[in-house]
Structure 1
């Protein structure tokens, strides 16, 4: 296989963009493990007092990821994230006004391999969320497992990430003054196993928990489609019924984490590696679907709102697909 190396002379901005994305990939794949090792080294070495103090703090702070988290405007505004945005680039597209006195539940699609669009748009201010939607505060929901890792939990909370457990979403959507946005990657980790260029498969037909949550709190549902999300990485072939897919699904059921075997480009060459391709992402935020507050929704009410959501999501995709480079024959596959 021929290796296509990057040119030796590239503008500094391109180097900074690559470095920013390298940091992001490292954070996803290895930072949690490094934080855990650091904590154990402190605990078993001369830093045991610091580790003990942090453990005491962790005990007192245990519920914070399910109670709105602890975001940092400083971290969300890092220049690093602007370089991250420009690498692809990522663009946040507003299609309708959102009343800041209401709470919202954003359904983000597709999950992709590493939810780059969701992170860039809702965990940083690089794409201008506060400017486009003044008065609203976004929170991206993430698997509870990650908030148990020392130090790492504090870093991810600083960007606006919160636990995906039901109590966490309820806390956000129960704010009487409104202004809160819970962002859910509806397809979850299983959908990442289908993420590859050209794929438009969404795992959503059996996922109605987010709809029930919206009904219980009267939070408006907002479909969000991120065009280009699946174009960032190739993935080892894993069709249904294959050994690889079976192993991935067993792992996902056992620990809640999917393990897509993805690859794309490297730092100094374009032929292989774990960095995403430089392909544009357009995250389109649809119009809100009004939801009546129903503390104890019936199955019929949940099914009806779920069908409405699917219709609005499909409509959003069809209305914008040509603008973002998809041919007329491309349609969503809902499973």
Structure 2
């Protein structure tokens, strides 16, 4: 039983403070998430700021060389990237996995003689489950799917920044452009698993705890690419992805949502207003809460190769994919604490 003094230490002005004495492994787990959070939120901004700063200093030749390298190497993010297997096995990713923890749930085999396009849902605030499961080996992807190489696709802007681009490519990240998908599914060797967070950053505006919403009804480009290359479509639902942060309520019609919709039209995305826990408290901060994430990989949907699919063929495959995703959600939701009357909303 906690002493009265310890309780008063942990709760100050309504804020629950972290205890002074916690197991060392938990500190390592928090440190691992801090490192990843810094990379996700600040690495691009920091690289851009330092580039401008050093451009007007005696070190400007280094900046010029760095961006010359970006230009020279511009095709690499669209040609499978430059993964480094030992980096994907860093111990820090194991600590990050254990922070939540994150789980990879396999429901069927993926044929290494074919290519696969995995649709990851939902985006959540930062797609923690997508990165840990497919950008690292912390949950044992290569052991669960032998002969399959995962590629997690992200925004092209990352690959225009020196150092940042090379760091994320080490994890197996590639450009989410059509050219990149064509290369991975058509011109590269078989056994690829191309992972796309289908809802994109816009879907993060729906990332509320205990809400189950995916942007999918109008997103058909990934289906077209799967048909063109005869790759199987594989739905992935990440249970708990939207529970690791709390977002300021922004229902349709609210002032905040109108502002976010305007920003989306102007700059292509609108950052959600969210919070989690802090480093030294459990109440407020920018770190995620310690809540479990279960990314359930569904059964592959085989598609016949159709170089020029008709809209009818795309719509039919898209309809099949949605039905498979909804069935995956319904089949597994009870295991992860979701009430039976809850349904997956596809918008």
**Above 0.5 in TM-score?**
yes
Structure 2 residues not aligned, in runs of 5+ = 1-12
Counterpart in 2 of 1:230?
Answer: 242
For 1:205 and 1:53, the matched residues in 2 are separated by 44
In the TM superposition, structure 1's runs of 4+ consecutive aligned residues that sit over 3 Å from their partners are none
TM-score using structure 1 length: 0.97
Distance 2:61 2:251 in 1: 50
1:256 to 2:268 alignment: yes
**Matched ranges for 1:66-215 at <5 A:** 66-175=78-187, 177-215=189-227
For each residue in 1:225-280, what CA deviation from the matched residue of structure 2 results, as whole angstroms up to 9, or x when unmatched? Answer: 10100101000111111221122122223222330111011000011001101000
CA distance in 2, matches of 1:57, 1:150: 8
Displacement after TM superposition at 1:166 (Å): 0.8
CA separation in 1, counterparts of 2:118 and 2:272? 24
1:269 aligns with 2:286: no
| Aligned-pair Cα RMSD in Å | 1.2
Distance apart, 1:176 and its partner CA? 5.8
Pair 1:218-2:267 in alignment:
no
Match status 1:10 vs 2:3: no
Q: 278-287 or 140-149, which moves further after superposition?
A: 140-149
Indicate if the aligned counterparts of 1:103 and 1:175 stay in contact, CA closer than 8 A.
no
- Residue segments in structure 1 that go unaligned for 5+ positions in a row: none
Structure 1 residue matching 2:234: 3-state secondary structure: strand
Residues 189 and 328 (structure 1), Cα distance of their counterparts in 2 relative to 1, 3 Å cut: same
CA shift for structure 1 position 174: 0.6
Name the SS for the 1:229 alignment partner: coil
Q: 1:246 maps to what in 2?
A: 258
Is the Cα contact below 8 Å between 1:90 and 1:117 reproduced in 2?
yes
Q: 2:63 aligns with which of 51, 54, 59?
A: 51
Deviates more, 1:250-259 or 1:99-108: 250-259
Cα separation, 2, equivalents of 1:157 and 1:258: 25
Pick the structure with greater CA Rg.
2
